[in-house]
Amino acid sequence: MINGYNSDRDKATSDDKLVARSKNGDKAAFEILVRKYSKYVYTTAFFMVRDSHEAEDISQEVFVKVYLAIGGFRGLSSFKTWLRKLTVNTCIDKLRLRSKTADRKVSLDSLVEDGKEILLYEFNQNVEKFFQDKEAVKDILKIIVNLDESYRIPLILRDLQDYSYIEIAEILKKPVGTVKTNIHRARKIIKNLMIDK
Amino acid sequence: MKELIMKTLNKFFKVAKDIVVDPGNDIENRIMDKIKNLSDEDKVILDDDFMNFLKKSNSRLYLFNKKLKENCGLIVFFGILGLAAGTFLLIEYRNYKNQKA
């Protein structure tokens, strides 16, 4: 699925309009936002908590929070950024609650077989080139999804969600140095496993 | 070689940002159903953590401070650059004054 947006600016403008309408109680506008971002929220949650049911619950919780609090959103950041931070915070809360749970292996293949599919989304680059890279990207995601939590979460926040090291350290309540070390180690693991393939 | 692998990895991470996993079970409709059937009890979801997040995301001062913290290296660099430029101009000005005298 490739969205036909010309630029990030167009996207932001259309989001701003939808948010403004939602603030005025327009449920149709809010539904457009849900349809536009539900997969994005779900994917973020899935890679963080590694459980499709929990990721779905988190997606519902995030949009309920957005719906109830959208009147208080002042728009100092883009709606997508706000939504992303809210999703990450909700996931971190869930992970803290179940921090004693042992890590388990998750297969991205079984997820795809389970009726879930990896899709193209908001992709603005050369499509043909993307399909060449897609398999390699899937391999990397398979490795990421099976990384230990202490490596997986900082790596996802840094490399997939564009958080700064300081932000990650604040969220995870860990020193910046530890965060940097864990991200470095995670990248090294991915690099080594990709070389072995 | 290591650098090349890291470059390639970074490129793949960039691509991975645009990928979604399709939940494959009409998640949008279920979210909207939930929203259409919200009760007062559901408002407990807006707990202290969330209200704190909302307050921070609506505070220009907080966001500005965060930007400062994240770019403190750059700020120190420009500070040193400014100081160096100021010192240079001061020395030049003094030389000019001495020559004139």
The complex's ipTM works out to 0.73
Q: Kindly list the residues from chain B whose CB atom is less than 8 angstroms away from the CB atom of residue A136.
A: 12
Q: What value, to the nearest 5°, has the Cα angle with vertex B48 and ends B42 and B53?
A: 105
Q: Quick one: fold of A1-108? A: Rna Polymerase Sigma Factor; Chain: A (1.10.1740)
What per-residue confidence (pLDDT) applies to A131?
59
Contact B20 A52 (CB under 8 A): no
Please indicate whether, in this complex, the C-beta atoms of A38 and B27 are within 8 angstroms of each other. yes
Cβ-count burial A137-159 (b if 16+ within 10 Å, e if not):
bbbbbebbbbbeebbbbbbbbbb
- Interface list for A 59-88 with B (CB within 8 A): 59-61, 63-65, 67-69, 72-74, 76-77, 82, 85-86
Single-letter code of the amino acid located at A167: E
What is the predicted pLDDT for the residue at B16? 81
Give helix then strand counts, H and E, for chain A: 9, 1
Q: Which residues of B touch A35 (CB under 8 A)?
A: 28
Residues in chain B with CB shorter than 8 Å from the CB of A47 are 21
Question: Quick one: pLDDT at residue A185?
Answer: 94
**B19-22/A117-120 β-pairing:** antiparallel
Per-residue confidence (pLDDT) for residue A174, from 0 to 100: 92
Residues in B 3-22 with any Cβ partner in A closer than 8 A: 5-6, 9-13, 15-22
Tokens 């899709």 sit on residue: A119
So what's the pLDDT on residue A9?
58
Write out the residue limits of the CATH 1.10.10.10 domain(s) in chain A. 120-197
Where do you find CATH 1.10.1740.10 in chain A? 1-108
What value does the mean pLDDT take over residues B26-47?
86
Count of beta carbons in the 10 Å neighbourhood of residue A129: 10
pLDDT in tens, chain A (197 residues): 334 445 555 666 688 899 999 999 898 999 999 999 999 999 999 889 888 889 999 999 999 999 998 988 888 888 998 999 999 999 998 888 776 555 555 555 555 444 455 554 444 455 555 556 777 788 888 888 889 889 999 999 999 888 989 889 988 989 999 999 999 999 999 988 887 76
Q: What percent of chain B has pLDDT over 70?
A: 96
Within an 8 Å CB–CB cutoff, is residue B68 touching chain A?
no
Mean pLDDT along residues B73-91? 92
CATH domain A120-197 topology:
Arc Repressor Mutant, subunit A (1.10.10)
